[in-house]
């Protein structure tokens, strides 16, 4: 499902204008991004959490040059679904 499809589905369910829904969805995504850039997690009860995961430094391989390289420690964004969300999906998706 694309962002445009999400906007259309929300507009159909709520009766709001697609323009207003699109602005709301984009603002939601910006708030989540801004919070994660500040190293603040976003918790949505019953849905899940947008979190920052820290990856440790590790050794990788450059296959074309056949040499080892060091991949430095870094942070990445991640989504962790809520337990109720996971169980609902398990029950309904077959």
Chain segment 13-58, per-residue pLDDT in tens: 999 999 999 999 999 999 999 999 999 999 999 999 999 999 999 9
- Reported as a pLDDT band with limits 50, 70 and 90, residue 66 is confident
**Under a CB-based contact definition with an 8 Å cutoff, are residues 43 and 51 in contact?**
no
Q: How large is the average pLDDT for residues 67-73?
A: 93
94 pLDDT more than 90: no
Q: What is the pTM of this model?
A: 0.79
Question: Phi and psi dihedrals of 57, rounded to 5?
Answer: -65, 140
What does the domain layout of the chain look like in residue ranges? 1-39, 41-94
- Work out the mean pLDDT of the chain and round it to a whole number: 95
Residue 75 structure tokens: 């942070």
Residue 79 and residue 77: Cα distance in Å, rounded?
A: 7
Q: What is the pLDDT of residue 93?
A: 85
**Residues 41-94, CATH architecture:** Irregular (4.10)
């Amino acid at each position: 499902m694309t962002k445009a499809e999400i906007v259309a589905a929300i507009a159909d369910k709520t009766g709001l204008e697609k323009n207003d829904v699109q602005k709301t969805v984009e603002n939601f995504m910006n708030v989540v991004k801004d919070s994660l850039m500040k190293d603040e997690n976003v918790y949505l009860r019953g849905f899940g959490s947008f979190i920052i995961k820290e990856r440790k430094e590790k050794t990788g391989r450059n296959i074309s040059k056949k040499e080892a390289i060091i991949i430095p420690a870094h942070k990445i964004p991640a989504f962790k679904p809520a337990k109720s969300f996971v169980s609902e999906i398990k029950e309904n998706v077959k």
